[in-house]
Amino acid sequence: MARLDATTNKQGALKFMGRLIEDLASATSGGGKNISRENNNDKDAKLDQRYSRRQSVRLSANQEGVFQQFSNLIVAGNLTQAYNLDLQTTQGLIKFGSLSKPSVGANYGNVAEGVFAAALAARFTGGRTKRDTTAYDVYNIISQISPSPIPGKKSSKAVIQTSAPNAVAGVGNDTIITEITLAQVNMEFLRNPSNREALLDYVIAALTYANRESVRQWVRTIYTNGRRDTVKIMADGLTNERTTKIDVKVSITNKEQGQLKGVNINASVKADDVKQFGQVSGEDFSSVSRFFTTAIGDGLVSESAAFETESKGPAKMRKIYKAADIIIDNNLNNDVTSKDMALKIGTGISRFATQDNAGVVDPSGDTVELINLSKGEATIYNFQNVAQKLSEYKLISEYKTSGANDLPTITIRESESNKVVVYFRSKVENKIDKNGVPYLYYRNYIEKGQFLTELIGQSALNNNVTSSWTI
> Strand 369-374 and strand 377-381: pairing?
antiparallel
Residues 6+ apart with CB under 8 A from 69: 85
Half-sphere exposure of 288 toward its Cβ, with a 13 Å CA cutoff? 26
Q: What's the pLDDT score for residue 19?
A: 84
Q: Cα separation of 139 and 199, whole Å?
A: 10
Q: Identify any residues that bridge with 271 across adjacent strands, giving them in sequence order.
A: 373
Residue 59 · residue 88 · CB < 8 Å = yes
- Per-10-residue mean pLDDT, the chain, length 471: 88 86 80 84 91 91 90 90 93 93 83 94 88 92 94 91 91 94 91 89 94 91 92 80 67 80 80 80 92 94 93 93 96 96 92 57 61 86 86 96 93 96 93 83 92 89 46 28
pTM of the model: 0.77
DSSP string, 26-84: HHHSTT--EEEB---HHHHTTS-TTB---SEEEBPS--HHHHHHHHHHHHHT-HHHHHT
Phi (first) and psi of residue 308, to 5 degrees: -75, -15
Phi (first) and psi of residue 67, to 5 degrees: -60, -45
DSSP 358: -
> Strand 369-374 and strand 457-459: pairing?
unpaired
